[in-house]
Amino acid sequence: MTGAERREQLIEVARRLFAERGFEGTAIEEVATRADVSKPVVYEHFGGKEGLYAVVVDREVTQLLGLMRAALSDGSSRMLLEQAAGALLDYIEANPDGFRILVRDPVGSASFQSIIGDVASRVEGILVDPFERLGLDPTSGSMYAQMLVGMVSQIGLWWLDHRETPKEEVSAHLVNLAWNGLSGLEPKPRLVSGS
């Protein structure tokens, strides 16, 4: 096996272990054993568990961020919402281990939060025109973008453990709630209780 092939093998073995057990529950010894190499080989390629984990997380972040950016690049507001929900669910379907890694550990959570922040910035820009047309304060777009992106990411977490529900059904319900909820926004929202 070439050095590059060995590196890829170690990344894939570690990815499965990090998804199963998290960062803390994964040991370099087990990565080496499953890859049928010695511990020094793992250290030679990655310097340690932190370096190996960083490579795994970076690959997942790059892949998910690319999908989300592509989903938010063109279309009507509703289509963009549908495309973003679909892109996240497609990623989870194809990469459940990768999604678990991104959301499970504090190190992964920071990476997932950076993806969420990037997507929220894009959504905020998309909301400006519709807010102005509806007579809503466009400066509140940032807050609504965070709400929408949070809703999408939370349903992703739920679906990871409820895969018996078809992806298209989850996406349709998500878009239904987000779109129909957004279409009824009040220009000056207030609490009924007066608080």
pLDDT of residue 73 exceeding 60: yes
Of the candidate ranges 81-90, 109-118, 143-152, the one whose mean pLDDT is the lowest: 109-118
Residue 194 pLDDT grade (very low, low, confident, very high; cuts 50, 70, 90): low
Q: What is 56-184's CATH number, 2.30.30.40, 3.40.190.10, 3.40.50.2300, 1.10.357.10?
A: 1.10.357.10
Alpha helices (H) in 23-140, listed in sequence order: 28-35, 39-46, 49-71, 77-94, 96-104, 106-133
pLDDT of residue 72: 85
Dihedral (CA of 27, 28, 31, 32) sign: negative
Residue 111 predicted with pLDDT over 80:
no
- CA angle (19, 120, 148) in 5-degree steps: 85
Q: Where are the domains of the chain?
A: 56-184
Phi/psi at 63 (nearest 5 deg)? -65, -50
